[in-house]
Structure 1
Amino acid sequence: MKYPAFLRLLLAPVNWLRKIRGFRLVYTPLLAIVLFTAVMGIILGTLHLQEKGQQESALFRELSFAKQRIQLRFVNNADSLNTINREIAASSEDAKLKQLVREQSDDLVLNNHEIVKIIWLNADNSYQWTAPANNPKTDWISKTQNERAVNEGLTNAIELSRVTSRTAFSQFISLNLPSEESLAKDRRTVFWQVAPNIVGGQAIGFLAALYTTQGILDVIPNELKAHYRFTLLTDNDRVLSISSDRDTPKRAFSNQTSLDIGVLSPNLVLRIDTYPPPTNLTFRMLIGVVLGLSAFVIWSLWSVLKQMQVRQEAEANLRTETSFRNAMENSTPVGIRAHDMEKRITYVNRAFCEMTGWSSKELIGLMPPFPFWPDSRRDELVEKMNRALKMESGMKTGIEGVVLHRDGSLIETRTFIAPLINEKGTQTGWVTSLIDISEPKKIREELAASQERFVTVLEGLDAAVSVLDLENDHLLFANRFYRENFGDDSKGHFQLAGNANNLETLHDVAEDLQDSPPGIPTSFLYQESESEEIQLSDGSNKWYEVRRRFIPWVDGRLAQLLIATDITMRKEADDLARQQEERMQFTSRLTTMGEMASSLAHELNQPLSAISNYCMGVAKRLEGNLDPVLTKDILPALEKASEQAHRAGTIIQRIRGFVKRSEPQSKLTAISEIINDAVGLVEIEAHRHRLTIISQISENLPAVDVDPVLILQVLVNLLKNGLDSTREAYPLSSRWSAAPVKISADLDTSIFPAMLRIQVSDGGAGIPKSVSQRMFEPFFSTKSDGMGMGLNICRSIIESHHGRLWAVNIMDAEHTKLAGCTFTILLPLESPETSGNV
């Protein structure tokens, strides 16, 4: 009888078992039952999973639809409340518009079951009107004991809306209502939504809508509520309202999602549960069929249990024997592999896999040359293997070879080969055993490498390491750093010791140890001295941190180990830090003096104003006197005294504005005002040193967007530097011929876009080349009492205004020497923010 192809494929294992073991009557029905049961189980499971997936998809879809309906209703309500707010703001004088607003509020309450009432409150939280006005359904709160809780929730929501200027929600309010109240269930839990009415940035009132949680569920269509139960919960799983009191089964499908009804809203969770579906008779019949077939399978298996027990016992013995053999092979560190007659690998143990880094699956089936043989020695190893398989002498002594680990490391091995004989006495292959003989070689190589690494580390240290023989003062060891800095003798060792009598002391120690019993006391060895900082006296002024200890040399002699680390740079850094600390203290004193100057300017400004007013008052009273002597002598003197008092007050006002601390603030400022203030501040010091300052400001210069206080600070600093340079170049007796310090302002039209150019020029000795390269660096100064921060701060201020600052020397007429210096400032006419928006 011929079978179809797929049946022949299914019956192939059965036929094989029938021919081999003769158990046709047992295994054929057993295999058929197992296959049928498996297929039916897969079909039922697939149907069940498919039905479950469809129900979950439908549940998620309906939940998403209900969520969208609720969110859309809250969005529409919020839009309606905002519209009513706008009309309230516009109806302050129109009675008809006010009536229209009340009607819109009534319609909003009547058309939305979730809203109970709407209240309009003014900015002082006083009730103005309620919608609907004369409806008995809206005054049910005042008849209960819940009015206080509802009002507190409204007050909290209004305060939150007032602070945030946005629509806000109150927390959920649970009401205690009498059971006979017809709407007790619908109004069990309520909350407020407050929309601020903001006009001109101020809240003129608040429109509050009272919601019921049960009314929110009324937004969901009744068709959905007939098939599913919807529940509103808080974020802590407190039930607010349920669409139906009908119970759901324990294994009902359920899903939930968060309702985002507003930015300042409480957390609401909408949950959906399914009701029990109708009875599925077909599905239950299929389950009954499967259960019947399963009982038949159990009965069939019971009938073959005795035969299976015999087989399991034999298999258990075989597994025990196999496990014992595998344990023996895996416990030995010798790598074992087997080859067939074609030299193909048929077996490897765990030790061989660890030796090569390859897994057994990757090795079985390979033929020589093998991947664990180095490429450079493959031909040699193939020849050795062929010779060993033919010669018995190689089997006794073993063959030395090498194995390449997968990570690239080489393992020296010795291989032993033996023929593999089966139960019939026929050779079926060979068994090879590999022993790792590279461990002794590795130990010797590692010792040599360790010694080399130790010497390499000492040679690479940036510290002088030296060992001195205490008996003959010879240098036993010196690293590279010591040889490069102190030579090959022991003089450097004693220089680093830092004691002129150290040589005699070391000799005394050596003699005492020679007279003592054999052996160097352990308490004496390895006692490291405290580190000392030694400065060499050879003119190099280098500093070293030195540590010393006594050690026994390799031949037993006493020696001294010295380690010296160069700390010259650390010393220089400490000196620099100390100097910077002194400069910071000086800056603190300057700051204190600036604060005192500001206070002094404030105190002097009032008496100077009084002097000016008194002088002007006396001059007014004397104008009526016709005495020519008074008119000629006294009045001009009083006017000059008043003018000088006013000038002194102006100077003090400028000083106070200059030293007053304030936050940087940019504004449109005329550059001429800043230059005049700067000249007025520095002019006093210029006159004191018999020098002059002139200013040249072009007409019709546009105002620039700068911080006037910071730009004034820059100009005052540059003018003072110009005065100092001129004063150093000219002695006091010849300053009448010194060129004045000049400050000018114009437009630089040679670049695009044009920029405001300010130049400060002096007639001093100029800036040397070595100074010009570092003069803008912080803490660099050519003055003995200077901080070195002036020009650095000036450049930072100008660059913060998106401008540039640089200096150029001025040569004399013959171009033979420096005749002054010019500092140039370029400032943009428009701020980057303004120009970027245009």
Structure 2
Amino acid sequence: MKLPFTFPARINNSSWFRRIRGFRLVYTPLVAIVIFTVMMTIILGTLQMQERNQQENALFRELSLVKQRIQLRFANNTEVLMSLSRDLGRVNGDEKTKASALKEAESFLLNNHEISQLILLDRDNQRQWMMPPPSRTNTWFDQAPYTKEIKAQLNKTIELTVSTNRPAFSNFIQIDIPNDEPMAKERRTIFWQTIPIGPDGDISGVMAVLYSAQGIMEYVIPPELKGLYRFSLTTDAGKVLAISSDRNMPPRSLTNQTSLDLGILSPNAILRVDTYPTPSNLTFKMLLGVVIGLSAFVILSLWSVIKQMQVRQLAEASLRTETNFRNAMENSTPVGIRAHDMQKRITYVNRAFCEMTDWSSEELMGLQPPFPFWPADQQEYLLKKMDLALSPNSSHEIKGGIEGVIQRRDGTRIATRTYIAPLINEKGEQTGWVTSLVDISEPKRIREELAASQDRFITVLEGLDAAVSVISIETGELLFANRFYRERFGNTSKGHIDLANHEMDPALLHGLEDDNIDPLAGLPSSELNQTRQTESQEIQLIGDEAKWYEVRRRFIPWVDGHLAQLLIATDITLRKNTEDLARQQEERMQFTSRLTTMGEMASSLAHELNQPLAAISNYCMGVAKRLSGQADQNLSNDLLPALEKASQQAHRAGTIIQRIRGFVKRSEPQRKDSDIGEIVADAVGLVEIEAHRHRLAIAVELAPNLPKVGLDPVLIQQVLVNLLKNSLDSVREDAPLSSRWAVPPIKISADLETSTFPAMLRIQVVDSGPGVADGVIERMFEPFFSTKSDGMGMGLNICRSIIESHHGRLWAKNQHDPNSGKAVGCTFTILLPLETAETEATASA
């Protein structure tokens, strides 16, 4: 049968017996000392336990003695008080008996210091007398704020005594008394005892005794026991009511407790006793320390010998393991390792170095520079670098390494990086150097290709006529900017942030640092998707000159792994300007087309309306002639003025149409010297009927001695009518119908403007409406602009054109309340030059 293991072929019996004897010599004393130490520990522990049991028994006896003493004191007090109550119940007006009872009570109180007060109460709980007699210091229980609780407990105890006809105790009363008050410590915890007065169950009163819990600790427990133990009176919940001493107890002190029954109807209380630390037994402790010390010293000595033997065995095993590990690591690493002594001879090479150079270790061992794996054309250069690196005066460790070249046996060259470190022996002395070679041919080739590719890419970006920039979305730092960006926006990230509409402003992303909020919170997930199509946006930047850019941006991972934003901005200012110019040309063409159409419509209307207006005028004049020949003079007087006015208005309408037609055809106004007062009066007369219909009024203010002015009265009158109608509409829309008579009238005035040179005729139309909005007042004279739903937007434009054709000016301005700053009306102002028709004709000639 084949055994699962085999014995070595030869066994050294003497070595085996020597090991057994060494084991016996080492471990036998150790076992003996351990047994001795264990036995001494058992003996000392047994003595300690016996001593503790004796202390616990003594503590229990003392606690029982104190409990009996307290119970006996309360039993004696109760008997004395019962006897005193019987004597008081038999007084019946006998002053001698009463004085004897009071003297006995005073003597009893003097011999029992745990009693604070003795009070006699009648059947109605009224005090008959109290001992000690009432004074400022002994009536403290009647003083606020704790008198309510004390009296409540007294009344409950009296009720219990009356109902049972036997002595009763109240609950413990704990009150908060300041430390500066007299006897504050004894008065903090008190309780009542009530004893009935009267023979044979006929209770004529109650004797109340006020006990102090602290007084029981102070005056009932013998002083010699209080010097050895600390006694305390606690509740069932462990709350301390009174304590004999404030000294702190050691954590391992002995303690015992028992229930304290003061009587039949007494409160629950626990009497507890704690031992003070006993004086130490120095001799016992010294003997114990010597035994333990000697045992520990011998054990440690033997243990140190054993540990040294184990350490030596572990060191040998560890050395073998470490050697095997280092050999395996050196043979498996792709890094070539060689060692040199102080004379630069090769003392060691690993397998990777041999494979790298294609030379065997036997061929390389002991060689000095120059080495056969150095290229022939670089041996002198490499020798200088090696002398410098291995010089004792130079740094023995170059962290960045040294780049070099080695040549294989077949002539192939390999780019390497060499790291050098000093070789230190166990004495701290340098015995040589260790060098490690890393083949960097492939990484160097890739790095050169990447550098060339990056140069080409940077050249392309620098040649773009678009701004390319990248900023970090965490710090807002500008990571990259091409030439176009630097020329336009400098070397800061402000231009990038402005082009991105400040969505990557670091002040907005990092405004919540104290709440540790992710700065990318709320960023759409689509923005982080690298396959998403980048959208473009047109941005206008206002600087020294307005520039338009077409901006494309997206989020990209930067080279350090953090998220960044790429932005490409193309200058489209020329395109935007071209588009704006084309749009303006189109608007001008539309405006010219509308004006042409309006002129054609005005010519058509003038042609079509002249004939019916002429017919109306002829009919009116014919009717007037026939009426003038009638016999009924009253009828003629009533109708003739109306017919004449109708004829005049028809003629005037035709004249207005002719003027507008001529104005549209860009003909000059038909000027003549006119009285501005008559023109104003005619305009007011035409509008006044409509004003009265809407319950509004028009006021006229004309400066005296106004000169005649060369103008076209029909066109000027039409301008004034248009301005007055606009003012009427503004006031009518602002004021309700019921309150329009209280609205200030629309004022039209004419005077001379002397602040200009030469002086000019000024005509103003002022209303009290809501004024004109700021956005409207800037465009109200533009053609085809109107705020009315049925307006064409040509009235004010034609008015300004008429005034400008007379070489004058027309504008509007709001009036504001000086207190509130609110608009309270609008003023239209016309300025006309003071030229007569003859003067203008002469100037024209």
- TM-score interval, smaller chain: 0.3 to 0.5
Q: Greater Rg, structure 1 or structure 2?
A: 2
Question: TM-score, normalised to structure 2's length?
Answer: 0.33
